[in-house]
Amino acid sequence: MTPRRIAAPLLLALLVQLVQVALAAGPARAAEPDNVTRPSVSGPGTLGTTLTADPGTWTGEDLTFAYQWLRDGDPIGGATGTTYEIRAADVRTRLAVRVTASDPTDPGAPGTATSERRWVPAVPTTTVLRAPERTTARETITLRVRVAAGPVDGPTGTVVVYDGRTRVKGERLRPGHLGRIEVPVRVRTKGVHHYQVRYEATGPTTSSRSERVAVTADPAYVTRKRVIGRSVRGRAITAWFRGDPEAEHVLLLLGQMHGDEPAGPRTAWHVRDHLRPKSGTALWVVPTMNPDGAARHTRRNARGVDLNRNWPTSGWTSAGKGSRYWGGPRPASEPETQAMIAFLRKIKPDYIASIHQPLYAIGRSGQDVAWERRLSRNLNLPRKHLGVGTPSGKVSPTMTGWYNARLGGHGVATTIEYGYSPTTHYVTEVAGKGTLRAALVY
C-alpha cells in the first residue's frame, strides 16, 4: 500500500466525526429565517392612499413579522404597521417596507428583507379608489374617486368620467369634498367598460387622469308592459316584454288572433308569468291581438273581419264579406292589424310563434326549417302546409305571410295550430317551454 491509500479512510472517519458534532449542536442554534420571495407593497401608491405590505415568503415555520416603512431608504418614525397612508412628505420620494422575520423559539436570529421601492408621483393625482368589478347593464355603479393635490386641502374643479372615449358623467369638486367624491355612473350596455376619471382643475393645481378601471356588465333583465294599440271597441292590445333589452335574439309569442281559439292565450299567460328567457335573450308576449273577439268568443273582430286575412299582401282580397274569412274592406283596414304591423316593424323579432286552433300542425313555410322542426318535435305536432286559399304566386294575407315576405330578412313567423282541446299541461308546460326552447331563448 502507498501512503496515499492509507490516508483516505482516515480522512473519511474524521469527516464523519465532524458532521456528528455539527448535528449534535443543531437543535440549540436554529438557522435564521431566510427570505425566499421578497416582501412587496400594494396599493395605488398616490398621495392619500394606503400601501399594504406583504411579508413575502420565508424559510421556517410560525414566524412573526415586524414592519418598518422607509422613505428613500430611511425609517419613517412610527410607521411600523402592515399598512401605511401616503402623506405629503412622501411625494416625489420612494417608499419601501422592510420586513423582519423572527422565529419565536429563537428571537436572537431574525432575518430581514426589503421590498422594491415605490415612487410617489408628483401631485395632483386622480385615483379611482373603488369601483365594482362586475355589475348588470342599466344599473348605476359608484366610482369612489380621490383627487390628491399636494398642499391643497380641497382641490376644486370638475371630476369627469369617461367610458372609453365617451364622456358619461361630470361632477363639481368643491373644497368641502377635500378631494374625495363618489360619482354615480349608469352602466348603459352589457359587456366590459373601461372607465377613466379625469380631474379638470380650477385654482392652483393642474389636471390629471386616473388609470382605466374595467367594469364588466352582465345582460340586464327587464320586465315591461306596453299597450301597442286599441281594438275597434277601444280595448287595449297589450304586449309584455321579458329579458335583455339589448338582446339580439328575440321571440314574439302571439297567443291569439281569433277570439274563439282560447288555448293560445293560456300559453301566453303561462310564459309571461312563469318562464324567464335565458341571459342575453328576450321575449315579447302578446296574449291576444283581437280583444274584442276574445270578449265575445268570435273568430272575427268587432267589424266582422278575419284579422288573419286582413294583412296587406299581394294575396289580399275584399271578397267574402259576411263569411268567417272576410279580409275586410281594404288591406290593413283594421286597427288591430295596424297596431300589430307597427309593433312588428319596430321590434323585428327573430322568431314569431302565432298560435291558433284546431288544425293540429306546425305551419310549413320553408323559411327556417330547423326552427319548424324544433317546434314540431317539442310540441309534438306534425309539419304541414296550412293553405288559406290564396292563388299560387300570391302572398297569403296572413300575419305569417306578410312578415315572412316583408321582414323575412329579420326573422321568421310560423303558425302553430293546437288541437281542439289541448290539456292544461300541454298548453302551459309542453307548449310554453317547447316554443321558447325552439326559439333558443330558454
Residue ranges in contact with Zn ion by CB under 5 A: 258, 261, 356
Please tell me whether the peptide bond between 110 and the residue prior to it is cis, using omega within 30 degrees of 0.
no
- Cβ of 14: how many Cβ atoms within 10 Å? 9
User: Cα-flanking dihedrals φ and ψ of residue 378, to 5°?
Assistant: -70, -35
- Pick the closer one to Zn ion by CB: 356 or 374: 356
| C-alpha–C-alpha distance, residues 255 and 419, integer Å | 14
CB of 282 to Zn ion, least distance (A): 25
- Pick the closer one to Zn ion by CB: 131 or 257: 257
DSSP state of 28: G
- Pick the closer one to Zn ion by CB: 126 or 357: 357
Closest residue to Zn ion in the complex (CB): 356
- Pick the closer one to Zn ion by CB: 208 or 256: 256
CB of 358 to Zn ion, least distance (A): 9
- Pick the closer one to Zn ion by CB: 235 or 356: 356
- Pick the closer one to Zn ion by CB: 144 or 364: 364
- Pick the closer one to Zn ion by CB: 44 or 255: 255
- Pick the closer one to Zn ion by CB: 232 or 359: 359
Q: Starting at the edge strand that comes first in sequence, how are the strands of the sheet with 351-356 ordered?
A: 222-230, 236-243, 282-286, 250-254, 351-356, 412-417, 361-363, 383-384
CB of 423 to Zn ion, least distance (A): 19
Intra-chain end-to-end CA distance of the chain, in Å: 93
CB of 281 to Zn ion, least distance (A): 27
CB of 359 to Zn ion, least distance (A): 9
User: Cα-flanking dihedrals φ and ψ of residue 242, to 5°?
Assistant: -140, 125
Which neighbouring-strand residues pair with 66? 100
CB of 356 to Zn ion, least distance (A): 3
Measure the CA dihedral 273/279/280/282, to 10°: -10
- Asked if 39 and 54 count as a contact pair (C-beta separation under 8 A), the reply is yes
Would you call 150 helix, strand, or coil by DSSP?
Answer: coil
CB of 338 to Zn ion, least distance (A): 19
CB of 360 to Zn ion, least distance (A): 13
- Pick the closer one to Zn ion by CB: 261 or 334: 261
Please state the length of the chain.
442
- Asked if 292 and 258 count as a contact pair (C-beta separation under 8 A), the reply is no
- Cβ of 72: how many Cβ atoms within 10 Å? 12
Give DSSP secondary structure letters for 302-337.
TTS--TTS-S-STT-----TTSTT---SSTT-SHHH
CB of 354 to Zn ion, least distance (A): 8
